[in-house]
Structure 1
Amino acid sequence: MQQVILFIGTPEVIFILFIVIMVFGADKIPEIAKGLAKGIRTVKDATNDIKTEITNSADKHLKDMGKENIKEDIDKVKEEIEEITGSVKRKL
């Protein structure tokens, strides 16, 4: 049973771990793991911030579009009322 991580099998993963231990030593591996975790967390937080900003911007834009549409609709209704009342006023 082979484990697939980015098209890398179990023997390759074991070999990479062996090389990492040989190069950095067993004492440095926890520090490296903490640094990698902190970096991944920073990237994840930045990604979430970007998603939130895009969502908020899109929501604001949609709300603004809704306001414009409502204003246009109100203006149309006002014009129609003026046309109707104008013809009624002329008849009087």
Structure 2
Amino acid sequence: INRGASIKAGLWWRALVSVVTPAILGYVLFASFREDLQTPYGDYPTWMLATFGWGSAGAVAVLGFIIAFIPWRKGTSLEDPEAVRPETDTTSIGETR
């Protein structure tokens, strides 16, 4: 940030970005979450909101966490294909080979 700025960001900037802003956002998130849990949505029964609302949201989060730890199959390359490597592509934009 300081390379191109006319006003140098110092300790106050780091404090705002690393402490103050996350604290405010965390408070807003938890206050909103608490309010959502205390007041039901429309005329839906609590069991339905818990099962199809919060239950499905929780299931997606847990499933995503589990899938992230499933190992890749042997032979699966995690490298970029040769055609999209910028260091080996000498063709200019708009030019055809």
TM-score with structure 1 length normalisation? 0.34
Give the structure with higher Rg (CA): 1
Q: Which has the larger helix fraction?
A: 1
